Structure 1
Amino acid sequence: MSPPESVVGKHRQVADDVIDEAVYGHLVGGEWVESDGGETMVARDATTGEELAKVQRGTRGDVDRAVTAARTAVEGAWGEQSPQQRAEALHAVADAVEDAKTRIARLDSLEVGKANKHSLLVDNTIVVDQLRHFASLARTADGGRCPAVGHVYTRREPYGVVGCISAWNFPAMFVAWKLGPALAAGNSVVYKPSSRASLSTLELARIFDRVLPDGTVNVVTGSGSVVGDAITAHGGVDKVSLTGSTRAGQEAMRNAADRLAPVSLELGGNNPNVVFPDADLDDAVEGALVAMLFNQGQQCTAGSRLFVHEDVRDEFLGRLSDRLDELTVGDPLSPLTDLGPLVDADHAADVREYVDVAMAEGASLLYEGDVPAELTDAPFVPPTLLGDVADDDTVACEEVFGPVAAVFTFSDRAEVVERANDTEQGLAAAVWTNDLDRAHEVAADLECGTVWVNTYNDLFEPAPYGGYKQSGIGRELDAEALDDYSQTKSVKVNHGDVPNLG
């Protein structure tokens, strides 16, 4: 059954309001250009399947042009700007993005299926905050004085041209996560958005292009196997930053290895969400909802492994089921919607297959929500809770990337820490307890880059963010990100005798 005409018509009207290009070009050296291959790709509405616009199918030649433009900018107009000038430019970008954030949020709701209230109030709030945060840090990004005898100081210098590759689940937000620190440190950028979601990136690129010197930010759309590989393997790209799957990160490192280009990676997660018996259960239930369902579970920080202490398991699951019943699954453009569709039919099929495999391996279905009858052809997956899952079952070991959580029962702290750490990934975790000592002890023992205590997915206050193990290399969001986009030079000035061999 196709979506009703009322939904299709509403989406067409919103698309007409926010999309004013039938065909988007690459942004290269301040110009919007066609691919030298002459081919385009279709950007589709996640809910209705209708075409929204066309974007360029990039080639290696397009990447060459973009890298050349970025090199010209970083060795010229952009590279000559002082830290203060870079800060002022990023503040100007942030001002313009804030003016456009309603439009950007709607683009992500159309193309990715995000609930619009989340896209606007969370994603785009973080976009603006990140740009302002790194605008402030840009003023002090160039080095400092070392405590030493004589005149010794350090300089933080940009790498030059940074190649950035992002994922489809937070298209607008990743622009700020990567461009904020990269530009604050003084680099120019060649940026590739996901081929599944490019439109909000291209709209944001217009803003950067209006404010910054030509070539400072360049955007090449296309597939990861062509454009992504061309960026990570390009001899003119001095530094690589990628957000994506572990496999994509491994490929990026291989491509960059021959020239020893530094690589920072934000990759997948298989994250434990641990509820102790003394936790405030109402708060923990809300945290579990955010952990498994924010962005329809399409987030690398998703709390897809829910560990609940045996003393409160039944009460907790009862409250969680009641709250799941209250959520609205539907059109992402509706202000009442809590959960929209997944990004496309292929990904929805992958998530459903994980549930089918789990059931075949012996899992039980603790909860399965409903999908609106009029939207059954859209790529919806209802909220799903699985029980009776073994620690080595597929759904417990792999990243599902959808609104699905496996529920596990534990009896003591040492046991749950060992089981929580029994994964190749280590991005995030959460602990729910009113015992402050236990919170700190468990946080110290968990093998991951971020631990939330009595909250989940709280990324509003900048703090270093990144993974352990196969969840990545490097940090984003805070001052440490500047270290990933710059390199240190020590300068020592001799004012006395010249050292000699004696």
Structure 2
Amino acid sequence: MSLPEEVLAKHRSVADDVVGEEVYGHLIGGEWVESDGGETRTTHDSTTGEALAEVQQGTRSDVDRAVAAAREAFEGRWGEKSPQQRADLLHEIADVVEEEKTSIARLDSLEVGKPNKHSLLVDNTIVVDQLRHFASLARTADSGRCPPAGEDKHIYTRREPYGVVGCISAWNFPAMFVAWKLGPALAAGNSVVYKPSSRAALSTLELGRIFDRVLPDGTVNVVTGAGGVVGDALTAHEDVAKVSLTGSTGAGQAAMRNAANRVAPVSLELGGNNPNIVFPDADLDDAVEGALVAMLFNQGQQCTAGSRLFVHEDVRDEFCERLYARLDELEVGDPLSPLTDVGPLVDHDHADEVRGYVETARQEGASVLYEGEIPDELRDAPFVPPTLLGDVDDDDTVAVEEVFGPVAALFAFESRAEVLARANDTEFGLAAAVWTTDLDRAHEVAADLEAGTVWVNTYNDLFEPAPYGGYKQSGLGRELAAEALDDYSRTKSVKMNHGDVPNLG
């Protein structure tokens, strides 16, 4: 890759500061260990392509070791912790993460290409917030309720952990997903075996170091490697009592099949092709800002991306004029620069996939309404410029499949009934957004949209702890809020009789 020496030097300097090991081991039972297979994989700087570190290529036996360590912790020192003790430890972890979040954010900027201001101010802020949120919920994690009972009887319920939870995450928000999964899993009292994406493991491994520093050995274990090996071994393991996965629909289906053999519960956060709807009474400046976030946050590499932009025909021209002006103002550049709004994609393979979607759209009759510029000095990095497509039909490829890049398709609509039918005409149902100043319309449209999250006059707002998850092929279960704690625990009913024993007559 031919990049300016000043870019290469900056990235090498940051990598020297934040990459903790030349060769990372698996974290198993409180120890950093090599894979049984003896193989490693090189992880790369997404911008420069240069090597960052080596990570283990896990095997099934590595997963067996990690599950055994997690089981021992659950049955031992970790399982003995009270809800208050679990809460205190999660707060302690959050304190350490807060101290080290700048380094963690830079790891994600290096390995995934996230603009550093996003990885620091958004992703790692959410990491700390989630850990503190579930630390607070942990205090009542196993408290139940007392249903009404007849005379001489007492009934109560208990919320109990599953035991060993297997967690698998995607590459697009590596640090954030750790808190999304470990926060509720640990608050509920489970131990965990965690598999990060092969494309982005470094921030997970460094966060694993922090968790392990605070928690009993084996409470959190991290095994790196291929999804077809480590992921399959984890989701199929007979001692993994619960599975949580963030990834593609195909990965979710594979996890469900593996878990079905032992009827283990599965939580899934999968893909999306989400509608972002602008009504004619919307504040257009706000709606334009929302469209930018929907389309370009994390370079569009997000399951919640608002990649189908529906704008009422009465305001379409004015909206586009304002949108193009704002797109021109955005800084496309080095993710380590504090000025960058849009960075590179995770790697060249993925960039080629996204460009392929744009080319397919052209072949199917789409026009390019807007295409941004890539700085000349970064043209050898895996950038795809912000791209807005027009003349797209509802059944075209980009309107049906998840592009996962800085690309959106613009659609005009005439009526509420029309746009609702078109917005819901998808196999996905993760998120949607509505822009309107009419409160009644906002409530009615939100009720009719088939999505797990509907934002009104905002987009990608995940800071408040509201439940997050999908409908249809976008997943099962909920994250980010108290409902997530329910997903990581199970209910036991206890019925006590203080009177006569029932008999057959």
**2:295 corresponds to which of 292, 295, 315:** 292
Q: Counterpart of 1:58? A: 58
Q: Counterpart of 2:246? A: 243
d(CA) in 1 for partners of 2:213, 2:141: 24
Q: Counterpart of 1:78? A: 78
d(CA) in 2 for partners of 1:54, 1:314: 50
**2:431 corresponds to which of 423, 428, 433:** 428
Q: Counterpart of 2:460? A: 457
Q: 1:321: how far off?
A: 0.4
Q: Counterpart of 1:141? A: 141
Q: Counterpart of 1:323? A: 326
Per-residue CA shift, 1:320-352, capped at 9, x if unaligned? Answer: 000000000010000010011000000000000
Q: Counterpart of 1:492? A: 495
d(CA) in 1 for partners of 2:20, 2:366: 48
Q: Please tell me whether the aligned partners of residues 44 and 53 of structure 2 are also in contact (alpha carbons under 8 angstroms).
A: yes
Q: 1:146: how far off?
A: 1.7
What letter is aligned with 2:442?
A
Q: Counterpart of 1:408? A: 411
**1:261 corresponds to which of 248, 264, 274:** 264
Q: Please tell me whether the aligned partners of residues 348 and 382 of structure 2 are also in contact (alpha carbons under 8 angstroms).
A: yes
Per-residue CA shift, 1:293-317, capped at 9, x if unaligned? Answer: 0000000000000000000000000
Tell me the secondary structure at the aligned position of residue 145 of structure 1: coil
Q: Counterpart of 1:15? A: 15
Q: Which runs of 4+ in 1 moved over 6 A?
A: none
Q: How does 1:457-476 map to 2 (within 5 A)?
A: 457-476=460-479
Q: 1:143: how far off?
A: 2.5
Q: Counterpart of 1:128? A: 128
d(CA) in 2 for partners of 1:145, 1:227: 39
d(CA) in 2 for partners of 1:146, 1:440: 35
d(CA) in 2 for partners of 1:6, 1:339: 19
Q: Counterpart of 2:67? A: 67
d(CA) in 2 for partners of 1:387, 1:368: 12
Q: Counterpart of 1:25? A: 25
Q: 1:148: how far off?
A: 1.3
Per-residue CA shift, 1:70-111, capped at 9, x if unaligned? Answer: 000000000010000000010000001000100000000000
Q: Counterpart of 1:307? A: 310
Q: Counterpart of 2:286? A: 283
Per-residue CA shift, 1:202-223, capped at 9, x if unaligned? Answer: 0000000000000000000001
Q: How does 1:78-477 map to 2 (within 5 A)?
A: 78-149=78-149, 150-477=153-480
d(CA) in 2 for partners of 1:38, 1:382: 40
What letter is aligned with 2:26?
H
Q: 1:407: how far off?
A: 0.3
Aligned-residue RMSD, C-alpha: 0.6
Q: Structure 1 vs Structure 2: percent identity of aligned residues?
A: 83
Q: TM-score, normalised by structure 1?
A: 1.00
d(CA) in 1 for partners of 2:435, 2:396: 25
Per-residue CA shift, 1:245-292, capped at 9, x if unaligned? Answer: 000000000111111111010000010000000000000000000000
Q: 1:319: how far off?
A: 0.4
Deviates more, 1:17-26 or 1:356-365: 17-26
What letter is aligned with 1:75?
E
Tell me the secondary structure at the aligned position of residue 144 of structure 2: strand
Q: TM-score, normalised by structure 2?
A: 0.99
d(CA) in 1 for partners of 2:268, 2:360: 29
d(CA) in 2 for partners of 1:346, 1:292: 20
Instruction: List runs of 5+ in structure 2 lacking aligned partners.
Output: none
Per-residue CA shift, 1:187-246, capped at 9, x if unaligned? Answer: 000000000000000000000000000000000000101000010011111100000000
d(CA) in 1 for partners of 2:267, 2:117: 31
d(CA) in 1 for partners of 2:379, 2:443: 45
What letter is aligned with 2:5?
E
Tell me the secondary structure at the aligned position of residue 148 of structure 2: coil
Tell me the secondary structure at the aligned position of residue 98 of structure 1: helix
d(CA) in 2 for partners of 1:16, 1:467: 39
What letter is aligned with 1:189?
V
The yes-or-no answer on 1:44 pairing with 2:47 is no
What letter is aligned with 1:222?
G
Q: 1:359: how far off?
A: 0.3
Tell me the secondary structure at the aligned position of residue 480 of structure 2: coil
d(CA) in 2 for partners of 1:356, 1:334: 30
Q: 1:145: how far off?
A: 2.5
Per-residue CA shift, 1:404-445, capped at 9, x if unaligned? Answer: 000000000000000000000000000000000000000000
Size of the alignment, in residue pairs? 502
d(CA) in 2 for partners of 1:385, 1:19: 36
Instruction: List runs of 5+ in structure 1 lacking aligned partners.
Output: none
d(CA) in 2 for partners of 1:255, 1:492: 34
d(CA) in 2 for partners of 1:261, 1:75: 19
Tell me the secondary structure at the aligned position of residue 333 of structure 1: coil
d(CA) in 2 for partners of 1:501, 1:358: 71
d(CA) in 1 for partners of 2:384, 2:355: 7
Deviates more, 1:428-437 or 1:147-156: 147-156
Q: 1:382: how far off?
A: 0.2
d(CA) in 2 for partners of 1:156, 1:46: 43
